[in-house]
Amino acid sequence: MLGRDAQVAELVALMGGDADVETGTTEPMTSVGYPVIVVHGYNSTGKSSSVRRALDVVKTASHATYTAFVDCTTIYNRRQVFTDVLRQIDPLARSQPDDPLLGPTKQSSDGYHNLNLLGFVQCLCKIMTGLHTANVPNVLVVLDNVDQFLTRGFHDLLRSLCRLNNELNMKMRFSLVLITRGISLPLERLLLPFVPVHVHFPLYTQDEISDILVDQLKLWEHERLFRAWTKYLHQMLEHDCHDWVEFRYMVIQLLPLFYEHASTADGYDPTSDNFKAAHKALVHQTQLRAKSLFQHLYHRNTSIESHTEAVAVERVNLPFGCLMLVLASYLSSFNPQETDAVYFTTARSTKKRRNGGGSAKARKMTKKQAEAIPQQLIGPKVFSLQRLLAIYSSILEEYDPPAMLGLEADDISTTLSRSDVFNHVNVLVRMRLLQRISALDELDDIKLRCLADHEFVERIARQIEFPLENFLNQIT
pLDDT at 346 > cutoff 50: no
Q: Which residue has the higher pLDDT, 81 or 63?
A: 81
Q: How far apart are CA 17 and CA 140, in angstroms?
A: 12
pLDDT at 10 > cutoff 90: yes
Q: Do 44 and 243 form a contact (C-beta atoms < 8 A)?
A: yes
Same domain, 254 and 151: no
Going by C-alpha positions, the residue among 136, 129, 126 that lies closest to residue 16 is 136
In a domain, 27, yes or no: no
φ/ψ of residue 188, rounded to 5:
-65, -40
Q: What is the pLDDT of residue 251?
A: 85
Q: Could you count the other beta carbons within 10 Å of the beta carbon of residue 427? A: 16
Q: What is the mean pLDDT of residues 330-343?
A: 82
Q: Which residue has the higher pLDDT, 8 or 220?
A: 8
Query: If pLDDT is split at 50, 70 and 90, which confidence band does 159 have?
Result: very high
Strand pairing class (447-450; 434-436): antiparallel
Q: What is the pLDDT of residue 42?
A: 86
Q: How far apart are CA 465 and CA 324, in angstroms?
A: 12
Q: How far apart are CA 273 and CA 271, in angstroms?
A: 7
Q: Which residue has the higher pLDDT, 223 or 384?
A: 384
Q: Compute the mean pLDDT over every residue in the chain, rounded to the nearest whole number.
A: 76
Q: Do 251 and 233 form a contact (C-beta atoms < 8 A)?
A: yes
Q: DSSP label at 141?
A: E
φ/ψ of residue 359, rounded to 5:
-110, 10
pLDDT at 300 > cutoff 50: no
Same domain, 154 and 231: no
Same domain, 54 and 182: yes
Q: What is the pLDDT of residue 402?
A: 74
Q: DSSP label at 164?
A: H
Same domain, 182 and 90: yes
Instruction: Look at residue 105 and give its three-state secondary structure.
Output: helix
Q: How many CA atoms lie within 13 A of 277 on its CB side?
A: 7
Same domain, 327 and 438: yes
Going by C-alpha positions, the residue among 207, 255, 199 that lies closest to residue 2 is 207
Q: How far apart are CA 260 and CA 225, in angstroms?
A: 12
CATH of the domain at 462: 1.10.10
Same domain, 189 and 212: no
pLDDT at 118 > cutoff 80: yes
Q: What is the pLDDT of residue 32?
A: 63
φ/ψ of residue 327, rounded to 5:
-65, -45
In a domain, 141, yes or no: yes
pLDDT at 53 > cutoff 90: yes
Q: How many structural domains compose the chain?
A: 3
Provide DSSP, 34-63. Answer: -SEEEEEESTTSSHHHHHHHHHHHHHHH-T
131-147 confidence digits (pLDDT tens): 655 667 888 999 999 99
Give the pTM. Answer: 0.56
Q: Do 144 and 39 form a contact (C-beta atoms < 8 A)?
A: no
pLDDT at 152 > cutoff 70: yes
Q: Which residue has the higher pLDDT, 398 or 311?
A: 398
Going by C-alpha positions, the residue among 413, 79, 157, 356 that lies closest to residue 87 is 79
Q: Domain ends where: 170, 200, 230?
A: 200
* Cα 81 versus chain centre, distance: 22
Q: How far apart are CA 120 and CA 175, in angstroms?
A: 16
Same domain, 70 and 127: yes
Q: What is the pLDDT of residue 18?
A: 66
201 forms beta bridges with: 41
In a domain, 103, yes or no: no
Same domain, 8 and 133: yes
Strand locations in 103-194, DSSP E? 138-144, 173-180
Going by C-alpha positions, the residue among 208, 284, 213 that lies closest to residue 251 is 213
Least reliable range by pLDDT among 332-336, 341-345, 394-398, 422-426: 341-345
pLDDT at 312 > cutoff 50: no
Least reliable range by pLDDT among 178-192, 286-300, 392-406: 286-300
244-256 confidence digits (pLDDT tens): 887 888 888 888 8
Same domain, 442 and 330: yes
CATH of the domain at 172: 3.40.50.300
pLDDT at 262 > cutoff 80: no
Q: Do 93 and 86 form a contact (C-beta atoms < 8 A)?
A: yes
Q: What is the pLDDT of residue 253?
A: 81
pLDDT at 110 > cutoff 70: no
Residue 82 lies in domain:
4-19+32-95+113-200
φ/ψ of residue 144, rounded to 5:
-85, 145
Provide DSSP, 109-128. Answer: HHS-SS--HHHHHHHHHHHH
In a domain, 313, yes or no: no
Q: What is the pLDDT of residue 414?
A: 57
Same domain, 139 and 257: no
Q: What is the pLDDT of residue 92?
A: 65
pLDDT at 44 > cutoff 50: yes
Q: What is the pLDDT of residue 39?
A: 96
Q: What percent of the chain has pLDDT over 70?
A: 70
Query: If pLDDT is split at 50, 70 and 90, which confidence band does 375 have?
Result: low
In a domain, 272, yes or no: yes
pLDDT at 390 > cutoff 70: yes
Same domain, 50 and 157: yes
* Cα 153 versus chain centre, distance: 19
Q: What is the mean pLDDT of residues 278-285?
A: 80
Q: What percent of the chain has pLDDT over 90?
A: 17
Reported residue count of the chain is 476
In a domain, 100, yes or no: no
Q: Domain ends where: 172, 200, 228?
A: 200
Same domain, 38 and 127: yes
How far apart, in Å, do the first and last CA atoms of the chain sit? Answer: 54
Q: What is the pLDDT of residue 196?
A: 93
In a domain, 101, yes or no: no
pLDDT at 363 > cutoff 60: no
Q: Domain ends where: 178, 200, 222?
A: 200
What is each CA distance from 33 to 183, 187, 314, in whole angstroms?
21, 21, 58
In a domain, 87, yes or no: yes
pLDDT at 22 > cutoff 60: no
